[in-house]
């Protein structure tokens, strides 16, 4: 029987890198758990200081982090997950909930390497660094509904989180995992267009980024279909429909669909 996570739990990070720091800072800032209840370990001083500077306890070893934590976020690179878990296996048990954010490492493998199924796998993305991640949560065999709620809350502190079946994670990787890079390309291209049309570079970049942010917020907050929002801003013989015509002639939507599908396929090949 899995032990419920209490209010007084401690949260450990194995792998004190960029993602771990983003999650730790986001969770601390959100008020759901103070940094003083978080633990990590790292061999370099710079990473140790990055965590201790906002109140996380930094230890000498991963084992001590696991021993002292009820919930452990596995945030090392995928290539080292197996090796790290083989060292930690004797200290992991059903009393502890293990949450892996390692891209491409499946629940089955995690279960085999840890010896139990109280696991949750999460696919998040880099906007977690600014509290705007899109994360998807997949439950292992022994993870409880409470565990799910708990992890949704945790990742809700650095953005938004949804639960899905693991078989959808390659598609999630192709869409929200790789998606920020597609949008960076779009922002850069829009800014370049602005420069070509005579705008100073700084202003063009600010306008492009803010426009993407604004359009995303409109889609989320209005609840309207993006096609309807597009129709609402295209006046007859106007500027916007002239721009859209160029995008459609060049296969804009098909290209973006293709990018998501190619990245999903690549994720499938890699895992
Ligand atoms: P990172 O390189 O910044 O962090 C990993 C850290 O783990 C490093 O500081 C490294 O020194 C440390 N480490 C290596 N071996 C270790 C060991 N044996 N014990 C303890 N620590 C060890 O990487 P990141 O970008 O934070 O990514 C971490 C995980 O998050 C990866 O598995 C990645 O797949 C996943 N992820 C990253 C992103 C992203 O956009 N960066 C998005 C989704 C998921």
| 172-201: pLDDT as tens digits | 999 999 999 999 999 999 999 999 999 999
Q: What is the 17 CA–ligand 1 centroid distance (Å)?
A: 5
Residue 219 reports pLDDT greater than 60: yes
Put simply, whether the predicted model's pTM sits higher than 0.80 gets the answer yes
Q: What is the 122 CA–ligand 1 centroid distance (Å)?
A: 14
Where do we find the tokens 């922002």? 187
Residue 110 tokens read as 């995690």
CA-nearest residue for atom 16, ligand 1, is 15
Distance of CA 11 to the CA centre of its chain: 18
Residue 271 CA to residue 267 CA, distance in Å, equals 6
What is the mean predicted confidence (pLDDT) over 54-63? Answer: 96
pLDDT of residue 3: 58
pLDDT of residue 161: 97
Residue 21 vs residues 12, 40, 52, 200, 216: alpha-carbon distances, Å: 12, 10, 11, 35, 26
pLDDT of residue 225: 97
Residue 113 CA to residue 173 CA, distance in Å, equals 23
Q: What is the 118 CA–ligand 1 centroid distance (Å)?
A: 21
Q: What is the 116 CA–ligand 1 centroid distance (Å)?
A: 23
What is the mean predicted confidence (pLDDT) over 54-64? Answer: 96
Residue 31 reports pLDDT greater than 90: no
**At 137, is the pLDDT very low, low, confident or very high (cuts 50, 70, 90)?**
very high
Residue 1 reports pLDDT greater than 60: no
Residue 218 CA to residue 215 CA, distance in Å, equals 5
pLDDT of residue 94: 84
State the burial class of residue 188 (Cβ atoms within 10 Å of its Cβ: 0-12, 13-18, 19+): middle
Residue 93 reports pLDDT greater than 90: no
Residue 53 tokens read as 């500077």
Residue 213 vs residues 107, 132, 176, 217, 219: alpha-carbon distances, Å: 34, 11, 15, 6, 10
pLDDT of residue 6: 58
Q: Which residues line ligand 1 (CB under 6 A)?
A: 14-20, 47, 62, 75-78, 80, 84, 101-103, 124-126, 177
**At 264, is the pLDDT very low, low, confident or very high (cuts 50, 70, 90)?**
very high
Q: Which residues pair with 14 in a beta bridge?
A: 41, 74
**At 204, is the pLDDT very low, low, confident or very high (cuts 50, 70, 90)?**
very high
Residue 98 CA to residue 138 CA, distance in Å, equals 12
């Amino acid at each position: 029987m899995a032990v419920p996570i209490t209010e007084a739990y401690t949260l450990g990070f194995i792998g004190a890198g960029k993602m771990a720091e983003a999650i730790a800072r986001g969770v601390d800032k959100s008020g759901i758990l103070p940094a003083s209840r978080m633990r990590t370990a790292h061999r370099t001083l710079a990473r140790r200081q990055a965590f201790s500077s906002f109140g996380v306890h930094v230890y000498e070893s991963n084992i001590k982090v696991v021993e002292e934590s009820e919930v452990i976020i596995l945030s090392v690179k995928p290539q080292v997950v197996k090796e790290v878990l083989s060292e930690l296996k004797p200290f992991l048990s059903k009393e502890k909930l293990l949450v892996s954010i390692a891209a491409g490492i499946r629940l089955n493998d995690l279960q085999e390497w840890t010896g139990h199924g109280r696991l949750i796998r999460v696919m998040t993305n880099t906007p977690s660094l600014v509290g705007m991640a899109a994360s998807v949560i997949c439950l292992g065999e022994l993870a409880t509904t409470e565990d799910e709620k708990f992890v949704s809350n945790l990742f809700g502190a650095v953005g938004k989180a949804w639960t899905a079946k693991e078989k959808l994670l390659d598609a999630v990787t192709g869409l929200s995992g790789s998606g920020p890079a597609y949008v960076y390309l779009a922002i850069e291209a829009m800014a370049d267009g602005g420069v070509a049309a005579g705008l100073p570079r700084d202003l063009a970049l600010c306008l492009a980024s803010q426009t993407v942010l604004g359009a995303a917020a409109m889609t989320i907050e209005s609840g309207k279909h993006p096609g309807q929002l597009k129709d609402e801003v295209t006046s007859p013989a106007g500027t916007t429909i002239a721009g859209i015509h160029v995008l459609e002639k060049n296969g804009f939507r098909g290209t973006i669909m293709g990018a998501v599908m190619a990245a999903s396929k690549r994720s499938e090949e890699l895992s």
